[in-house]
Amino acid sequence: MEVGTGLYLMGLALAVGLGLPLAVIGAGLGQGRAVAGAMEGMARQPEMAGRIQTGMIIGLAFIESLVLFSFVIFFLLQGRLPTVSGQ
């Protein structure tokens, strides 16, 4: 195996292993902030709770979709990893 290919495969493995967790960390922080803000808003104005909740869910879906993009990339890259069986 060439050195370059080995480097490439190492980078690929790191990307497959770390890409999604990194995205999850960022999105988790973002979702936490969003929910905290929404809860505070609901506590201050309980009569607006329904609309705030709708907005919160939409916002969470947007943040989550960023993780899911990286999830798709994760699967694309995972398909590129060579199998290790029988070596």
Q: Which residues bind another protein (CB under 8 A)?
A: 2, 4-5, 7-8, 12, 54, 57-58, 61-62, 64-65, 68-69, 71-72, 75-76, 78-80
Estimate to the nearest angstrom the gap between the alpha carbon of 31 and the chain centroid.
11
Q: Closest CB to another protein among 33 and 80?
A: 80
Smallest distance from the beta carbon of 78 to another protein, in angstroms? 6
Smallest distance from the beta carbon of 47 to another protein, in angstroms? 15
Smallest distance from the beta carbon of 64 to another protein, in angstroms? 8
Q: List phi, psi (to 5°) of 80.
A: -85, -15
Q: Angle at CA 37, nearest 5°, toward 56 and 49?
A: 55
Report helix, strand or coil for 53.
helix
